[in-house]
Each structure stands twice: as C-alpha cells, then as structure tokens.
Amino acid sequence: MSRKYFGTDGIRGKVGDAPINPEFVLKLGWAAGHVLASQGRRKVVIGKDTRISGYMFESALQAGLSAAGIDVRMLGPMPTPGIAYLTRTLHASAGIVISASHNPHYDNGIKFFSAEGSKLPDKLEYEIEATIDKPMTTVDSSELGKSVRVVDAGGRYIEFCKSTVPMKLDLRGMKIVVDCAHGATYFVGPSVFKELGADVIAIGVEPDGLNINKDCGSTNPKALQEKVLKYEANFGIGFDGDGDRVVMVDEKGEVLDGDELVFIIAQFRKKSGMLKGGVVGTVMTNFGMEAALDENSIPFARASVGDRYVLELMKKNDWYLGGESSGHIICLDRTTTGDGIVSALQVVAAVIESGRTLHELKAGMRKYPQSMINVSRSQDIDIDSNKHIQKAIKDVESELAGNGRVLLRPSGTEPVVRVMVEGRDPVLVDSLTRELAEIVETELNQKS
C-alpha cells in the first residue's frame, strides 16, 4: 500500500503549506487518537524541538487527541530520542515528535513512536491515514482526554543518557565544546557532560524559535571547530536541531562524521569484547570505513539510505551498531533509535578508557577520496539491465583493483542519477567519475 501523507520519517514540509498546517495537524491528532482508542490505548506523549511553529502544532495535536479521548503528557522541548525513551518509561501508547530535524525553522514535521520507542508499525500508519479522511467527531465531554505537563522530563532523560556509559566514567579535567544548534538539546546536552564532570563550553544554546540549525550544529560545524581551537578543548560535539545526529571535532579542529564515529565505537567495542556481530552502514558509507572494519575483522553490511533501513538490517542480522555518515548512529544495546547524545557518549568512553585522543582514535580509519556527479535524465531506464552502463561500471571497478567502489543511485527527489566513485587516488577517482558520468548521460538521454 502506498502512503498519502507519511514518508519514511513521518510527515514533513513547509509550515503553512499542506499538510503542515494547523487544520491538518488537528485532524492528524484526532485520527491517531481515534485509532489508538479503538485498541484500548489512551495515553500519548508529545515533545518538540525549538522552532516557533512547534507551539502551534503542539496545541493542535493536543486538541485533536483530547477530542478522541486520549490523555496527553506534554514534554516540551526535548530531543527526539528523549521522546522515544520517555514514551517507553511513561508507558504511553505512542509518542509524537514535532520536529523537522536538521531543516530550517520554516519547515516542521510530525513523527510517531510506538509504545516500545521505535518506529510506529506500518499497519497503524495506514489506519491513521485512512481515518484522517473521515469526518472528525468528539467523544462525550466526560471522556475527553486530559493534558499534564511532565515537569521533570529533561532530568529523566539526562539520567538515562548517563546510564549508557560505565558508572566509573569520569570526565573531570576534560574541556568539551558542545554545540546544540539552538535546538532540542540546548538544555540536556550540556547538562549530561557537566554532570559527568567535564568543563563544558556550550554554544548554540539560545533558541529563539527562528535560529534552529542556522549556521551551527552538526550540519555546519565551523563555529564548533573555531571554539575547540580557541579554548584548546579536548574535543567538540555538535548536534542537529532535534538531537538524533552528532558530529565531533578533534583537538586539532578536524571534523569527524558519522562514519568515523561509528568506526571508533566499533573498534573500541571489538577490543573490549563488547561488540556483538558487525556494523550496518548505507550505500553512501565511505569505503574507508568498510576497509578499516575489515582490517579489524569486523563484519560490515550496507543498507539503503535512511535510518529506518539501517535499523531493519541491524535487526535482521541481530547486530547492535549501525549508522550513516550524517551522524545518525544507532546503538541498539543502549537505546531504540538514533541518539546524538548517547552516540557521543560511546565515543567519549572510547577516548577515556583507551587513554588516547580523538585524533589518534580516528587515525585507524582513512577516508577514501570520493567524487560524485549528478547526471540529468530525460527518461527512466533500468540501469541494472543496461549493458553499456554495466560494462562501464565493471571497467571502472577493474581500474580501482579492489581499492574503491562505484555507486549509481537514482535520486528520489530529482530527475538525476548520482554517479559516485571512491578510491585511494583522488586524481584517478576524479577521472573515472567523469568518464563513467559521460557514458551514463549518453545512455540515459538517448532518443528511443
């Protein structure tokens, strides 16, 4: 079945444009509540990031859920993974996140968690979509849902985050810069590291509803790099607007992306005997990580792009660690979803317990040079069955001699095919990408 509203990560768009407007969100809250109530489940938690439209959508969801007879627990500004955690621990029927993650303030979205703190089952999403198109009704006034604000939500989540690392972990004597992107981690992020003993320099902690993700955070770590060098910090940590992604900056001011962070966690766990199975990345994961994991005898598998696909493959393989280069990292032995704070703590634990710097730890993985060209397409053809393209791919792979890879990936949002080549030699990689792109362009745009 195809979805009308839900995408791979909830419902997202520009504020004011359908479906991200008050009318739709009111109806969405009612529809979700109606479906949950029909199953005898009557409590939902709602959390949000710091963008200004969150107030409007919080009220709309609250009204819709109440009309369906659902009690609401209001969490206020809270990282997305914190909402997943509190959905579980408050024994709610579902959790609702109001956030557009790393997008600008003028976007927003609605995302649901199941009672277990994981993605809502497809069956429930389909039922909610089917209900949205029905006339809205209101339960008897004696059955209306009640709303209560959870005043200690932040404190509960801080304690959870700290519980994901050993009790003996002591950050006293360490200086850390934490960039919260003026987003949902603005309070809990610095607090976690302070309570573990670190000297924390916090930036991106003055949200005004409009500055979320603006020139800061994991998507723009320049300010974080500058502060790490200025204050001679041990390292820096950068979150995105809703706190499910993280990048780090080492003591030399160099940025570590999700691939490098996953490698550090995997290598540390392997040496400590804590790694179960292997690591899941995506088709976009740098070949350098695959090579480094192989050197450490750690199995690796690639999923399609998107955290839901990473999680699916992790569960299929019964592995506990996976992630994307964007910094969306999942540690299933610690929590149920991607969590920027929890992931950063796993890296910090590796730094402390190994006695090495972050720069030294990342040296175990060498990122391969990557070149990508977007090739416009005027028609849809099956790349896998096109003999000319397939021969060109094999020729490039032969040139790389096992020290690189080729990826052709049609975009899901634009009429282009992304042609990517990775390898040890940047000059060769550049040349091979251009050659392959020319062949792909010829085949994609030839007249039938």
- In the prediction, which pLDDT does 412 show? 67
Q: Which CATH class is domain 370-445?
A: alpha beta
Q: Which CATH architecture has domain 257-367?
A: 3-Layer(aba) Sandwich (3.40)
d(CA 287, CA 370): 9
C-beta separation of 245 from 239 below 8 A? yes
Could you say which of 3.40.120.10, 3.50.50.60, 2.30.30.140, 3.30.360.10 is the CATH number of the domain covering 173-254? 3.40.120.10
Q: Which parts of the chain register pLDDT below 50?
A: none
Residue 101 known to be catalytic: yes
C-beta separation of 113 from 121 below 8 A? no
Q: Do domains 11-151 and 370-445 have the same CATH topology?
A: no
d(CA 63, CA 445): 51
- In the prediction, which pLDDT does 8 show? 77
Place of tokens 């392997």: 270
Mean pLDDT over the full length of the chain: 95
- In the prediction, which pLDDT does 2 show? 65
C-beta separation of 298 from 354 below 8 A? no
Q: Among positive and negative, which fits the CA dihedral 300, 304, 307, 311?
A: negative
C-beta separation of 202 from 190 below 8 A? yes
Place of tokens 């849902």: 145
| Catalytic-role residue among 53, 93, 99, 101 | 101
- In the prediction, which pLDDT does 372 show? 95
Model confidence, pTM:
0.93
Could you tell me the residue ranges of all domains in the chain?
Answer: 11-151, 173-254, 257-367, 370-445
Strands 246-249, 235-239: pairing is antiparallel
CATH dotted code for 11-151:
3.40.120.10
Place of tokens 């998107």: 306
Task: Compute CA distances 56 → 21, 82, 97, 214, 242, whole Å.
Answer: 9, 21, 13, 21, 17
d(CA 318, CA 341): 23
Candidates 175, 275, 307, 306; CA nearest to 232 is 175
d(CA 332, CA 322): 9
CB contact burial 295-312 (16+ within 10 A = b; e otherwise): eeebebbbbebbbebbbb
Place of tokens 């690189």: 404
